[in-house]
């Protein structure tokens, strides 16, 4: 795609535009804490800060706050138009958000490969040590059958994670990393 640098996520702009339609958590979002996997060290500081908020779902719901917290990041998941034969306006959900976030990460890996540096590999420690490189989502909440969902808050939260990837800020972060093991030549 010739003009990929002009897309909103790559330019570091949020979509929809900030203001009345700013990015916000919505009911189809999900998140919380694992009952199976322990919380990794790289999450503990960010999650601890979130849990200090007073307007979280009632503790009477007995949710586990010691397990692995999720999500790590989020991405725009509504108002997508998918063209597969015919345009399908209004597509929403993980099927939109996951490839959007993956595309931004692929562009960051490409940036490193162009500098003969290694690809990023396991991202989570990088995410949690660079929360400011994401567009922080502070409005909205998830939905649950109990009526209370996880609210979006400043910093990491249990509905939008670190927020949505900001290509320009993340590009600065990944360019400042050591080059790694180098890149093997591709022989075709």
CA distance to 43, 53, 102, per residue, from 48 (Å): 8, 9, 27
Q: How far apart are CA 149 and CA 162, in angstroms?
A: 17
Annotated ligand binding at 41? The verdict is no
Annotated ligand binding at 55? The verdict is no
Annotated ligand binding at 187? The verdict is no
Which of the 8 DSSP states describes residue 159? T
Query: Of the candidates 96, 103, 99, 40, which has an alpha carbon nearest to the alpha carbon of residue 72?
Result: 40
Residue 89: exposure state from Cβ atoms within 10 A (0-12, 13-18, ≥19): exposed
Annotated ligand binding at 136? The verdict is yes
Query: Of the candidates 61, 75, 28, 68, which has an alpha carbon nearest to the alpha carbon of residue 47?
Result: 68
Q: How far apart are CA 153 and CA 24, in angstroms?
A: 10
Known binding positions:
136-137, 155, 157
Known binding positions for Ca(2+):
136-137, 155, 157
């Amino acid at each position: 795609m010739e003009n990929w640098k002009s897309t909103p996520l790559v330019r570091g702009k949020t979509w929809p535009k900030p203001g009345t339609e700013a990015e916000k958590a919505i009911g189809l979002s999900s998140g919380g804490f694992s009952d199976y996997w322990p919380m990794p060290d790289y999450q503990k500081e960010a999650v601890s800060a979130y849990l200090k908020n007073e307007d979280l779902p009632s503790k009477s719901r007995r949710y586990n706050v010691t397990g692995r917290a999720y999500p790590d990041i989020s991405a725009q998941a509504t108002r997508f138009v998918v063209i597969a034969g015919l345009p399908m306006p209004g597509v929403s959900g993980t099927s939109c958000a996951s490839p959007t976030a993956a595309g931004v990460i692929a562009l960051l890996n490409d940036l490193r490969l162009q500098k003969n540096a290694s690809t990023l590999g396991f991202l989570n420690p990088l995410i949690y040590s660079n929360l400011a490189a994401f567009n922080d989502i502070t409005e909205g909440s998830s939905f649950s059958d109990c009526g209370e969902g996880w609210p979006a808050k400043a910093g990491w939260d249990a509905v939008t994670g670190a927020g949505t990837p900001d290509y320009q800020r993340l590009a600065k972060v990944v360019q400042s990393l050591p080059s790694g093991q180098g890149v093997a030549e591709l022989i075709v």
